[in-house]
A = this chain, B = another copy of it.
Amino acid sequence: MTYAAGRHFLQIPGPTNVPERILRAIDRATIDHRGPEFGALGLEVLAGLRAVFKCQTPVVIYPASGTGAWEAALVNTLNADDRVLMAETGQFATLWKNMAQKLGLQPEFIPGDWRHGADPAAIEARLSEDKARAIKAVCVVHNETSTGVTSRIAEVRKAIDRAAHPALFMVDTISSLASMDYRHDEWGVDVTIGGSQKGLMLPAGLSFNAISDKARTASKQAKLPKSYWSWEEMIAANKTGYFPYTPGTNLLYGLREALQMLLHEEGLDNVFRRHMRHAEATRQAVRVWGLEIQCLNPAEYSNSLTAVQMPAGHSEVAFRKVVLERFDMSLGSGLGKVADKVFRIGHLGDFNDLTLLGTLAGVEMGLELAGVPHRKGGVAAAMASITSAPVTSSVSPVRSAA
């Protein structure tokens, strides 16, 4: 039997469920990427992305996964053996650090317990020590997808400023962009990295760099070899809406639709409030179950996913297998240091109250069927949380038809 009735619950913390409007927009004949229609498309999506990043300076789009945009940020701004200060917030911070090493940089990794965000004080301390200004960049993951912990970017900015350190500030927003508030310009970030497959509700395949003037200036001196990722050809071609090499036209159709929905229909502030409501309800459920939220500091809770610790002696792999086979729901696995110790509930992207409650019901029933000790009532608590939440965005009775 290959047909599983009903819709799969894709509740990993990304790639997220792609709305039918976006899939349908992608499902359209490709056009000439050098013709006039394409230029109009390019200008439209580039402008929309700047609104999402809250940035006046250029955003560039790569036909690549988010991992590529990490690489782009580094190779455009740095030189071989440059020292880079990074914060160990979890698996993705670790992978980014490993990438820096592979690219010939010298990352310094401020250790972390995977239950807290980057520590502004530690960053300030390290930068203050760096009298020689050997550190060329500070790299932080805004929302650590492996732990459900956010880092307080505005505070990290202040820490850098207090140290009066000239390092570039680079932030990964792959799993927070368009789900949680983020302000590239206001927070003084130099390079922000984003991807298409999370809050932007697209399939994977596009990734982004938002680039400050300072970063761009740095890029003129940066000598790491680069071609595909090079900002300058990209920014030059983008002025008229085109790209220096073949763009991912069909995903750009989807991006246009996503930007229309996020910016012009629901509105970013409503999007953020929706994610907050779902995250809060999820945490209420976890607490009732008697399980522990991986994130220890409520000020650092992620609104796009919740990582949950398994009780000692219980395997998240086994638990998720039950949930997948019995309820056709994919949950996020434990990664790296927390492999088989935490599972992750994605509640980001194109998501609503009832799908959240179906998701939490699947977790609660899965805990029971997998024999994981827990208290019942998590779903009920989440329902109470939802019904008592302020209605921030009423659902329109007339859903748009694409």
**How far, in angstroms, from A270 to B330 measured CA to CA in the complex?**
22
Partner of A5, one of B195, B226, B274, B391: B274
User: Is B5's CB under 8 angstroms from A351's CB?
Assistant: yes
Q: How far is the CB of A19 from chain B (nearest CB, A)?
A: 8
User: Is B29's CB under 8 angstroms from A7's CB?
Assistant: yes
Per-position 1/0 for A22-55, Cβ under 8 A of B: 0111111111111111001100000000000000
- Do A31 and B102 form a contact, CB below 8 Å, given A9-B354, A24-B24, A267-B1? no
Q: How far is the CB of A380 from chain B (nearest CB, A)?
A: 6
Instruction: Judge if A160 is at the interface, Cβ distance under 8 Å.
Output: no
Instruction: Judge if A399 is at the interface, Cβ distance under 8 Å.
Output: yes
Q: How far is the CB of A96 from chain B (nearest CB, A)?
A: 10
Q: Which residues of the other chain, B, contact A358 by a CB distance below 8 angstroms? A: 354-358, 361
**How far, in angstroms, from A112 to B246 measured CA to CA in the complex?**
25
User: Is B396's CB under 8 angstroms from A2's CB?
Assistant: yes
Per-position 1/0 for A220-251, Cβ under 8 A of B: 00001111101000000000000001111111
| Identical subunits present | 4
User: Is B365's CB under 8 angstroms from A398's CB?
Assistant: no
Q: How far is the CB of A77 from chain B (nearest CB, A)?
A: 14
**How far, in angstroms, from A276 to B16 measured CA to CA in the complex?**
31
Q: Which residues of the other chain, B, contact A188 by a CB distance below 8 angstroms? A: none
Instruction: Judge if A106 is at the interface, Cβ distance under 8 Å.
Output: no
Q: Which residues of the other chain, B, contact A397 by a CB distance below 8 angstroms? A: 35-37, 324-325
User: Is B398's CB under 8 angstroms from A36's CB?
Assistant: yes
Q: Which residues of the other chain, B, contact A369 by a CB distance below 8 angstroms? A: 387
User: By the criterion of a CB under 8 Å from any partner CB, how many residues of chain A are at the interface?
Assistant: 120
Q: How far is the CB of A127 from chain B (nearest CB, A)?
A: 25
- Segment among A64-72, A151-159, A298-306 that sits at the interface with chain B: A64-72
Q: How far is the CB of A182 from chain B (nearest CB, A)?
A: 18
**How far, in angstroms, from A226 to B100 measured CA to CA in the complex?**
10
**How far, in angstroms, from A2 to B395 measured CA to CA in the complex?**
8
Per-position 1/0 for A292-329, Cβ under 8 A of B: 00000000000000000000000000000000111111
Instruction: Judge if A8 is at the interface, Cβ distance under 8 Å.
Output: yes
**How far, in angstroms, from A67 to B33 measured CA to CA in the complex?**
15
User: Is A402's CB under 8 angstroms from B402's CB?
Assistant: yes
User: Is B400's CB under 8 angstroms from A3's CB?
Assistant: yes
Instruction: Judge if A216 is at the interface, Cβ distance under 8 Å.
Output: no
User: Is B402's CB under 8 angstroms from A25's CB?
Assistant: yes
Mark out the residues of chain A between 363 and 402 whose CB falls within 8 Å of any chain B CB in the assembled complex.
364-365, 368-369, 376-377, 379-380, 383, 386-387, 391, 393-402
User: Is A354's CB under 8 angstroms from B329's CB?
Assistant: yes
User: Is B203's CB under 8 angstroms from A249's CB?
Assistant: yes
Per-position 1/0 for A129-164, Cβ under 8 A of B: 000000000000000000000000000000000000
Partner of A395, one of B4, B104, B247, B396: B4
What would be 21 A-B contacts, judged by CB atoms less than 8 Å apart?
A: A6-B352, A8-B29, A15-B33, A20-B29, A23-B29, A24-B24, A24-B27, A24-B28, A36-B397, A63-B65, A64-B228, A65-B246, A71-B227, A203-B248, A253-B401, A325-B394, A325-B397, A326-B394, A327-B354, A357-B358, A380-B380
Lowest 5 CB-CB distances: which A-B pairs, in order?
A6-B352, A358-B358, A3-B265, A357-B361, A2-B400
